[in-house]
Amino acid sequence: EVQLVESGGGLIQPGGSLRLSCAASGFTVSNNHMNWVRQAPGKGLEWVSVIYSGGNTYYADSVKGRFTISRDNSKNTLSVQMNSLRAEDTAVYYCAREVVDVMTVDWYFDLWGRGTLVTVSS
Protein backbone atom coordinates (compact mmCIF):
# COMPACT_ATOMS: atom_id res chain seq x y z
CA GLU A 1 0.00 0.00 0.00
CA VAL A 2 1.22 3.47 -0.86
CA GLN A 3 1.23 5.58 2.28
CA LEU A 4 3.05 8.07 4.47
CA VAL A 5 3.21 7.83 8.25
CA GLU A 6 4.55 10.70 10.33
CA SER A 7 6.02 10.37 13.81
CA GLY A 8 8.00 12.33 16.35
CA GLY A 9 5.54 14.97 17.43
CA GLY A 10 4.96 15.96 21.02
CA LEU A 11 5.16 18.69 23.61
CA ILE A 12 8.33 20.74 23.55
CA GLN A 13 9.38 23.91 25.35
CA PRO A 14 10.08 27.12 23.46
CA GLY A 15 13.65 27.15 22.21
CA GLY A 16 13.79 23.39 22.11
CA SER A 17 14.41 21.00 19.23
CA LEU A 18 12.41 18.18 17.72
CA ARG A 19 12.89 15.84 14.80
CA LEU A 20 9.91 14.62 12.80
CA SER A 21 10.03 11.61 10.54
CA CYS A 22 7.82 10.39 7.75
CA ALA A 23 8.01 6.75 6.73
CA ALA A 24 7.02 6.00 3.18
CA SER A 25 5.80 2.70 1.84
CA GLY A 26 4.90 1.65 -1.67
CA PHE A 27 7.24 4.13 -3.35
CA THR A 28 10.78 5.51 -3.09
CA VAL A 29 11.21 8.81 -1.27
CA SER A 30 14.41 9.72 -3.08
CA ASN A 31 12.70 9.49 -6.48
CA ASN A 32 10.01 11.94 -5.46
CA HIS A 33 9.54 15.55 -4.39
CA MET A 34 8.69 15.51 -0.70
CA ASN A 35 7.24 18.31 1.38
CA TRP A 36 6.28 19.27 4.89
CA VAL A 37 3.03 21.20 5.29
CA ARG A 38 1.70 22.31 8.66
CA GLN A 39 -1.61 23.38 10.09
CA ALA A 40 -1.92 25.34 13.30
CA PRO A 41 -4.95 24.40 15.45
CA GLY A 42 -8.10 25.68 13.80
CA LYS A 43 -6.12 27.38 11.05
CA GLY A 44 -5.31 26.83 7.40
CA LEU A 45 -2.52 25.01 5.61
CA GLU A 46 0.99 26.44 5.49
CA TRP A 47 3.72 25.03 3.28
CA VAL A 48 6.96 24.57 5.24
CA SER A 49 9.65 22.93 3.15
CA VAL A 50 10.46 20.76 0.14
CA ILE A 51 13.26 18.43 -0.87
CA TYR A 52 13.23 17.74 -4.57
CA SER A 53 14.25 14.41 -6.02
CA GLY A 54 17.46 16.04 -7.20
CA GLY A 55 18.28 17.08 -3.65
CA ASN A 56 17.55 20.81 -3.74
CA THR A 57 15.79 22.11 -0.65
CA TYR A 58 13.64 25.17 0.00
CA TYR A 59 11.99 26.64 3.08
CA ALA A 60 9.25 29.05 4.02
CA ASP A 61 10.62 32.28 5.43
CA SER A 62 8.95 31.49 8.76
CA VAL A 63 11.22 28.48 9.33
CA LYS A 64 14.32 29.30 7.30
CA GLY A 65 17.48 28.88 9.35
CA ARG A 66 15.67 26.88 12.03
CA PHE A 67 14.31 23.83 10.15
CA THR A 68 16.28 21.38 8.04
CA ILE A 69 14.62 18.89 5.71
CA SER A 70 16.38 15.68 4.79
CA ARG A 71 15.80 12.14 3.63
CA ASP A 72 17.28 8.78 4.52
CA ASN A 73 17.38 6.64 1.42
CA SER A 74 18.26 3.47 3.32
CA LYS A 75 15.16 3.81 5.50
CA ASN A 76 12.97 5.39 2.83
CA THR A 77 12.05 8.20 5.17
CA LEU A 78 11.69 11.97 5.11
CA SER A 79 12.65 14.05 8.13
CA VAL A 80 12.65 17.59 9.37
CA GLN A 81 14.91 18.80 12.16
CA MET A 82 13.24 21.69 13.96
CA ASN A 83 15.38 23.92 16.17
CA SER A 84 14.70 27.07 18.15
CA LEU A 85 11.03 26.20 18.30
CA ARG A 86 8.49 28.94 18.96
CA ALA A 87 4.90 28.91 20.12
CA GLU A 88 3.84 29.77 16.58
CA ASP A 89 5.35 26.50 15.33
CA THR A 90 2.57 24.64 17.15
CA ALA A 91 0.74 22.70 14.46
CA VAL A 92 -0.05 19.36 12.92
CA TYR A 93 2.79 18.58 10.55
CA TYR A 94 1.98 16.65 7.41
CA CYS A 95 4.43 15.12 4.99
CA ALA A 96 3.17 15.18 1.44
CA ARG A 97 4.40 13.84 -1.86
CA GLU A 98 4.32 16.26 -4.76
CA VAL A 99 4.13 14.90 -8.27
CA VAL A 100 4.32 16.42 -11.72
CA ASP A 101 1.97 15.64 -14.58
CA VAL A 102 4.50 15.10 -17.35
CA MET A 103 2.03 16.10 -20.06
CA THR A 104 0.87 19.41 -18.60
CA VAL A 105 3.70 20.15 -16.12
CA ASP A 106 1.15 20.60 -13.37
CA TRP A 107 2.33 19.98 -9.84
CA TYR A 108 0.18 18.75 -7.00
CA PHE A 109 0.27 17.04 -3.61
CA ASP A 110 -1.17 13.64 -4.34
CA LEU A 111 -0.33 11.75 -1.16
CA TRP A 112 -0.49 12.97 2.42
CA GLY A 113 0.20 11.41 5.77
CA ARG A 114 -2.19 11.72 8.69
CA GLY A 115 0.05 14.22 10.42
CA THR A 116 1.82 14.50 13.76
CA LEU A 117 1.06 17.20 16.33
CA VAL A 118 3.81 19.44 17.62
CA THR A 119 2.97 21.61 20.61
CA VAL A 120 5.44 24.28 21.66
CA SER A 121 4.62 25.47 25.14
CA SER A 122 6.16 25.97 28.53
Partner 1 sequence: EIVMTQSPATLSVSPGERATVSCRASQSISSNLAWYQQKPGQAPRLLIYGASTRATGIPARFSGSGSGTEFTLTISSLQSEDFAVYYCQQYNNWLRTFGQGTKVEIK
- Region of 9-17, 18-26, 71-79, 112-120 interacting with partner 1 (CB under 8 A): 112-120
Max intra-chain CA distance, the chain: 50
Q: Give CA 99 to chain center in angstroms.
A: 15
Return d(Cα 17, Cα 27) in angstroms, integer: 29
- Please pick, from the candidates 11, 88, 101, 121, the single residue that binds partner 1 as defined by CB under 8 A: 101
Return d(Cα 30, Cα 109) in angstroms, integer: 16
Q: Enumerate residues 79-98 that contact partner 1 by CB under 8 A.
A: 94, 96
Q: Enumerate residues 50-69 that contact partner 1 by CB under 8 A.
A: 50, 58, 60-61
Q: Enumerate residues 24-53 that contact partner 1 by CB under 8 A.
A: 35, 44-47, 50
End-to-end CA distance of the chain: 39
Nearer to partner 1 among residue 60 and residue 76 (C-beta)? 60
Q: In sequence order, what are the residues at sequence separation of 6 or more whose Cβ sits closer than 8 angstroms to the Cβ of residue 60?
A: 46, 47, 48, 49
Taking the complex as a whole, the smallest distance from the CB of residue 50 to partner 1 amounts, in Å, to: 7
- Please pick, from the candidates 70, 109, 117, 119, the single residue that binds partner 1 as defined by CB under 8 A: 109
Nearer to partner 1 among residue 27 and residue 58 (C-beta)? 58
